Amino acid sequence: MSTPIQVYEPFKAGLPKLGKYWKSLWSRRVFISEFSKSELREQHFDSVFGQLWLVINPLLLSGVYFILIVIIRGGSDGTRYVHLTATLFLFYLISNSLTGGVKSITAGQRLILNTAFPRVMLPISAVIIAVFKFVPTIFVFLIIKVVVGSEFKVEMLWAIPILLITILLALGLAITISCINVYFRDIASFLPYLTRTLLYLSPVLYEASELDPKLRVLEVVNPLFPILDSWSSALVHGQMPEISNMLQGLAWAVGIFLIGTYFFLSREREFAVRL
């Protein structure tokens, strides 16, 4: 039996055949699911204490931030805490996607060097893991809403399309940053400062209506701003989000996803050399 010959060709930036690529990606959906579950088990997500920590950590942070708001403002109410908790949980979905996505390619070095598969599977798995971590926080938020006495309205169902937009944005960010990290490894060290800055520039510690008119530019340049504002409108206040905010958030999500995916797919054949 003859030994197969592997031919290495010079790298040339460009998109692969997308039909064949997506078909190959879809055929590995079971692997993506199992790979994500294995990562969750490694992080002890399958244990009671592992799942409790996913909830306790953002709850403690929301408590600290709430105390800070009370100290600065001299007073607050239950609605403020509901807003803080709801937006912080959603922000953590994006933050966890970035944290998991940034090293998804470099951490999968051995897999990339020894196996042929669509590399975009790795940042996709990171986002799936972030979504799994987000799910328990939804139930905690609903309990908090009941305890505080906040009213439940049918307009809260607007949270479903907002969540889908958020997942698309998180996926685009994870794909983009995973590719950038292959070329600039220091971005992983810079990421905690970036996420913390995004937290302060987003309507989490404050509501969008309270923003100083001089800082309204944040509504335009921050992709998280319209999404978090719409999320708060639906879940906290039981109001239909502004269509302009929904469209703006969708535009950010689609734009980042398309640009990041193009950049990723056009460079992924070079990853093995860079790693």
Please report how many Cα atoms fall inside a 13 Å half-sphere around the Cα of residue 183, on the Cβ side. 9
**Cβ of 79: how many Cβ atoms within 10 Å?**
15
Q: What is the pLDDT of residues 203-240, one digit of tens each?
A: 988 888 888 777 778 788 899 999 999 999 999 888 99
Mean pLDDT of the chain: 82
CA dist 140 and 135 (Å) reads 9
Looking at per-residue pLDDT, the higher value among 55 and 257 belongs to 257
14: left (phi over 0), alpha (psi -120 to 50) or beta: left
Looking at per-residue pLDDT, the higher value among 189 and 94 belongs to 94
13: pLDDT confidence band, cut at 50, 70 and 90? low
Q: What is the pLDDT of residues 136-179, one digit of tens each?
A: 888 888 888 888 888 888 999 999 999 999 999 999 999 999 98
Burial 109-130 (b: 16+ CB within 10 A, else e): eeebeeeebbbbbbbbbbbbbb
Strand locations in 163-273 (E): none
CA dist 96 and 199 (Å) reads 13
Q: What is the pLDDT of residues 65-114, one digit of tens each?
A: 777 766 666 656 677 888 888 898 999 899 999 998 888 888 777 777 77
Indicate if the alpha-carbon torsion angle 214, 219, 221, 225 is positive or negative. Answer: positive
Residue with tokens 């469209």, as numbered in its chain: 247
Looking at per-residue pLDDT, the higher value among 164 and 53 belongs to 164
Is the pLDDT score of 8 beyond 50? no
Q: What is the pLDDT of residues 19-43, one digit of tens each?
A: 888 888 888 888 788 778 777 777 6
Q: CB–CB of 54/131 below 8 Å?
A: no
Is the pLDDT score of 251 beyond 60? yes
